[in-house]
Copies of this chain bind each other. A is one copy, B any other.
Amino acid sequence: MTPTTEATAPTYTKKDFESDQTIRWCPGCGDYAILATVQSVLAGLGIPREEFAVVSGIGCSSRFPYYLSTYGFHSIHGRAPAIATGVKLANPKLSVWVVTGDGDGLSIGGNHLLHVLRRNVDLKILMFNNRIYGLTKGQYSPTSEQGKVTKSTPYGSVDNPVDPVNFALAAGATFVARSVDVFRQHLSDTVAAAAMHRGAAFVEIYQNCNIFNDGAFESLTAKATREEKALYLEHGQPLRYGPEKSMGFALKGASLEKIDLKQHPEREKDLLIWDQEEPSGTLGMLANHLPKDPANPVPLGIFRRLEKPTFDAGMRAQIDAARAKRGPGNLEKLLYSGTTWTV
């Protein structure tokens, strides 16, 4: 089901998307903020409530569907994208959402995520990235920074983390974005944009787990540093950030150069104009390479948004075409087809 703005569209409030289940997250968990935002966004899409199917895997984040008053499906670890593919293929009219965590989506479920993204199945995928395994009480995850000391890595983790946005870009996802649990308006806009996108929409949401990885995003979310640390990608706008938007980035060869506009106001014209429709993903990766340097801001917003035929529509079209061409299946005829003989 695509969002509609017709007059007949139901009007809901956030409350209509709250379920009667007690919420079982830890007090202070970033998941609460995401839930509230998503409830509001869903209420505003104009899609009848019964046409939402929200599928999740396993993890704290994956408890999400219980707290929405829509159809909900809390499944098994890592498999939500595959289940959701089945739901969407079976009934393309539904608005199908996937909620997953960094462990659920990128550890055990990495492959399914890769494949729904490359197929461009029309799913809205929200990955709550708290860079930790919450539900199993604090082991490192594939997005944990190197050297992370956790229950399972008392000497620090050795592996390089995977970057969900890079991963999604390379997989060919047609909508790739990043937002933050506590940046309510930005999150709301980003989730709404994902909802409006036709095709696989992937949204990484930085989420604080105040029990096992408290403050993981604090340098970004702290009120004091927010402005310095958030680089909002806005289509058609130059890459600027910081107090008074006085910092920016320009292309230099195949990498980005940081420019202090206060010192070099003349270079404003060099700033890279953000193009979310650049198809190769190169630009997205370029912008996203920034966070690896702690001195750099964190890019947020939409890394890529492309219109491409969706998998579910393509599959349906084949059925329709076959029916148009060969007529609806006739079982009797099929059984008696080929070489038969009568006794």
Contact = CB atoms under 8 A, between A and B. Distances in A.
Contacts of A118: 142, 159-162
Contacts of A226: none
B110 A318 contact: no
Contacts of A158: 119, 311, 314-315, 318
A336 interface: no
A167 interface: yes
A314 B118 CA distance: 33
User: Which bucket holds chain A's interface residue count?
Assistant: 35 or more
B170 A166 contact: yes
Stoichiometry (number of copies): 2
A90 interface: no
Interface in A286-307: 286, 289
A119 B160 contact: yes
A216 interface: no
A160 B120 contact: yes
A222 interface: no
A160 B142 contact: no
B254 A159 contact: no
Contacts of A110: 110-111, 114-115
A118, A254, A308 — which one has the most chain B CB atoms within 10 A of its CB? A254
A311 B311 CA distance: 37
Contacts of A253: 251
A170 B285 contact: yes
A80 interface: no
Interface string A155-192: 11011111100110111100000000000000000000
Contacts of A115: 107, 110, 142, 159, 162
A281 B161 CA distance: 15
Contact of A289 (B166, B280, B286, B322): B280
A282 to B, nearest CB: 5
A278 interface: yes
A110 B114 CA distance: 8
A283 interface: yes
Contact of A162 (B107, B156, B172, B311): B172
A13 interface: no
Nearest to A170: B170
Given A278-B254, A280-B255, A280-B285, A114 B162 contact: yes
Contacts of A196: none
A321 interface: yes
A318 B146 CA distance: 14
A311 B286 CA distance: 26
A107 B119 CA distance: 12
Interface of A: 107-111, 114-115, 118-120, 142, 155-156, 158-163, 166-167, 169-172, 251, 253-255, 272, 278-283, 285-286, 289, 308, 311, 314-315, 318, 321-322
